Amino acid sequence: MLRLFDFIDSVELVTGHSADRGETKEPEHIATSESGESALSFTSNLPPVLEIIRKSVPSLCDRTRAFKPSWSWSLGDVQTLFGNFASIYAPLTYGRYFVSADSGGALAVDFVSAPWLSLDAPIIIVLPGILGNSQSLYVTSATEYLTRLRNGPVTGYRVAVMNTRGTSGNPLSSAHLTHAGMTDDLRAVVSFVRKCYPESKALFALGFSMGGALLSNYLAEEGDACPIDAGFCVSTVWDLEACAERIEENYLRRLLYSYTIGTSLTRIVHAHEQLFRDAGATGLDELLSRSAVRMSAFNDIFMSHLAGYSDTAAFAAATSPIFRVGKIRRPCVLLNAHDDPFYGGDCLEDLRKRVRESGYDGLVLTITKKGGHVGWLQRNREGNIEQWFARPVREFFDTILSEKILWQNNRKKHV
């Protein structure tokens, strides 16, 4: 039920499908725009993702299902702060496994406890943001919604969370911090998950913020050989340098975001100081001498060198997914909000351009006016607070899986 002072958001849809460039289809929606033979054949036989969204993802195409933040929550910064630090759900129960990484150390992978799921249940690998883990609000919001049992061909998903290195309960075991260019980490997790559940009907991936950037880079690198059936990227930071400028453009954002993230990352480094000293990390002493650190300074002084680059410009050029998003060749939805304090506003114009020029109709950029950064908080019909993005995520994956099952059944008939 719509409440007084609720704000009904609209959605802009941009795709690489040339037939939809520049056309306005509806008043509230603007359309401007390990591997295997079976996986490649399946995705190559899918209809355009924009068509899938219009037909089967009502949260992005139906005003009655659109994002409806309360007036008091409509500001992007408010959505961002509550979406990252509020508590809605009780902590979820996970089973933790450690996966060896080629770059050294171990990756903590948490499987949500969902005993009601069958062994062939489809799997979603979730990639949190730069300081996120399996207990972050946006991860639990998605996990709680995706694991719910439903009638039909898609009953529920098994969720595996690839925790960011060094976060709570996941101490560093090597001198590496997770960044968007560490695609080999995701490769190791994908391989591990596939071995754990070889009978799974499908494998999807959901990335948030930096996790969305990592997922995008991975999908682009894998191209047509990608073992993941489809992806969904939420609040992705597409350009590292553009993000740094945006979160430092005024005092409030510097305080809320740049200093908070930079200082938190510095504390992780401090807690594992000996690891980095033994590795001869450049800039360690200068970094640890500061009590408060901006995100840009953390990258300039330490992170860019740790990742193997001469400076932040080279680091950003090599790891920002904006420069390779057009190489993605798996069905993928990119969800961003125009009022995202990390990557929104004018920053999105370059992303629109690159998605249109990709020429791939499996790639669709969706932009809401409101939502902040990994926020999209609203009250559902029962009056409970939820994060709206979980709805289009499930609707999209449900549809892709249904298409895959239909394709497999048709193929069997002709064998």
Close Cβ partners of 295 (under 8 Å, ≥ 6 residues apart): 244, 247, 248, 257, 258, 259, 261, 262, 265
Q: Report yes or no: 87 and 138 within 8 Å, Cβ to Cβ.
A: no
CB 186 within 8 A of CB 108: no
How many angstroms separate the first and last alpha carbons of the chain?
49
Residue 373 annotated among the catalytic residues of the structure: yes
Residue 350 is among the residues annotated as catalytic for this protein: no
Q: Distance between CA 44 and CA 345 in Å, rounded?
A: 33
Q: Is 29 a catalytic residue?
A: no
Token pair for 342 = 């990390």
Find the catalytic residue in 340, 358, 361, 398.
340
Q: Which of 209, 216, 304, 320 is catalytic?
A: 209
Please provide the DSSP assignment of 85-126 as one string.
H---SPPPPEEEEEEE-TTSSEEEEEEE--TTS-TT--EEEE
Question: Where in 137-246 does DSSP place strands (E)?
Answer: 158-162, 203-208, 230-234
| Calpha distance 34→297 (Å, rounded) | 38
Is residue 392 within 8 A of residue 143, CB to CB? The reply is no
**Euclidean distance between CA atoms 39 and 194, whole angstroms:** 14
Question: Choosing from 216, 320, 373, 398, which is the catalytic residue?
Answer: 373
Spatial contact of 320 and 239, defined as CB atoms under 8 Å apart = yes
Count of alpha carbons within 13 angstroms of residue 394, beta-carbon side: 21
Could you give the residue numbers annotated as active site?
209, 340, 373
